[in-house]
Amino acid sequence: MKKAIALVCAILMAATALTACGRKIIKNGDAPAPVSSAAENNQNNAVVDSSSSAANTNSAADTSSAPVGSNVKVEASKNSKVSDGIKVEGIPFFDEYSKTIFLLITNDSGKDCSLDINVDFFNAEGKIVGTTSNSIDAVGKGTTVCEDFSCDEVFTTYEYKVVSSESSYAPVDQDLTMDVSILTNKVIVSLTNNGKTPAKYVWYDVFFYNKGQLVGHNYSYCEDSDSEIKPGATERSECSFYGEGGFDDAKVYFHGEGDYIS
């Protein structure tokens, strides 16, 4: 629901190849983080997949600096604040089209929640040059969501505030399992709803890697004509890579929401 407007933008961007973003997402300076099975950690919304098998990422760690390998030196302010049990990892990327921070937000609070997020951007002189906000509903306990925040000015520092609250929607990410097929210039994402609640407005972000370096990003939706994945159903969609040099691996984060809780 929250990315409905963004979807229109994505279609326009694809038409002009503006989705050809190149980004590096090297957790703690290493190659893409190892993953464990859904049975081990019950986090079903992140995948590193080169063999078309479903898997899940470990919880994102708190970070106060850009991951090694980022194409810009950007740091998170030590004044950044999060609610108890919420962990944040920032992924900066600049190219000719955007100056963006991706936040990977993990809910380790032990309860389902909604998130209100604000990000301020500062230049090298410490002057604020941008601010933006967003919210994410129905973030299940133990799951990770990805959200992007952009600034039209060059920045060297960003400060985030992530506040959790009781969700008005049922979480569904924990009921979804994912399979990713990697092709030459795209990935095909398959999501299966193993729960009893329809998963609505399910979107996913794809980070494309080449030899351990992030070389592109794109996103899409995975849903039927009713904008949902029904219980027991599997829906598929594809997401293209527009960068140069190709890719050999991909990491996917997805998120959807369930029914309104009255």
Question: What CATH number is associated with residue 160?
Answer: 2.60.40.3230
Count of domains observed in the chain: 1
pLDDT band at 3 (very low <50, low <70, confident <90, very high): low
Tokens representing 4 are 């409905």
Which range has the worst mean pLDDT, 5-9, 115-119, 192-196? Answer: 5-9
Whether the predicted pLDDT of 51 surpasses 80:
no
Quick check: 206 and 243 in contact, CB under 8 A?
Answer: no
pLDDT tens digits, residue range 68-78? 335 567 999 99
Q: Residue 221: is its pLDDT beyond 60?
A: yes
Tokens read off for 143 = 């799951």
The answer to whether residue 148 sits within a structural domain is: yes
Structure tokens at 38: 């859904």
Kindly state the average pLDDT of the residues 1-9: 45
Residue 262 domain flag: no
> Considering only CA atoms, which of 212, 244, 246 is closest in space to residue 95?
244
Query: How many residues comprise the chain?
Result: 262
pLDDT of residue 98: 85
Residue 151, in any domain of the structure = yes
Tokens of 72: 């810009």
* Measured distance CA(183)–CA(187) in Å, rounded: 6
- Region 235-261: mean pLDDT is 95
Residues 6+ apart with CB under 8 A from 47: 35, 54, 55, 56, 57, 178, 180, 250, 251, 252
Highest mean pLDDT among 19-23, 92-96, 198-202: 198-202
Name the 3-class secondary structure at 223: coil
CA separation for the pair 213, 226 (Å, rounded): 37
**For residue 226, what are its two tokens?**
């009713």
Q: Is the pLDDT at 67 greater than 60, yes or no?
A: no
Per cent of the chain over pLDDT 90 is 63
Structural domain that includes position 197:
4-257
Residue 140 is assigned to a structural domain of this protein = yes
- Highest-confidence range of 35-49, 79-93, 177-191, by mean pLDDT? 177-191
Averaged pLDDT for residues 211-239 = 94
Q: How many of the other CB atoms lie within 10 Å of CB of 96?
A: 9
Residues 6+ apart with CB under 8 A from 198: 172, 226, 228, 229, 230, 231, 258, 259
Higher pLDDT, 240 or 208: 240
Say what the pLDDT of residue 72 is: 67
- Choose the weakest-confidence range: 26-40, 48-62, 90-104: 26-40
Q: What is the mean pLDDT of residues 1-24?
A: 39
Question: Which of 4-18, 76-90, 204-218 is predicted with the least confidence, judged by mean pLDDT?
Answer: 4-18
Residue 209 pLDDT exceeds 80? yes
Average confidence (pLDDT) over 167-171: 96
* Cα–Cα distance, 108 to 59 (Å, whole number): 8
Separation of CA 211 from chain center: 21
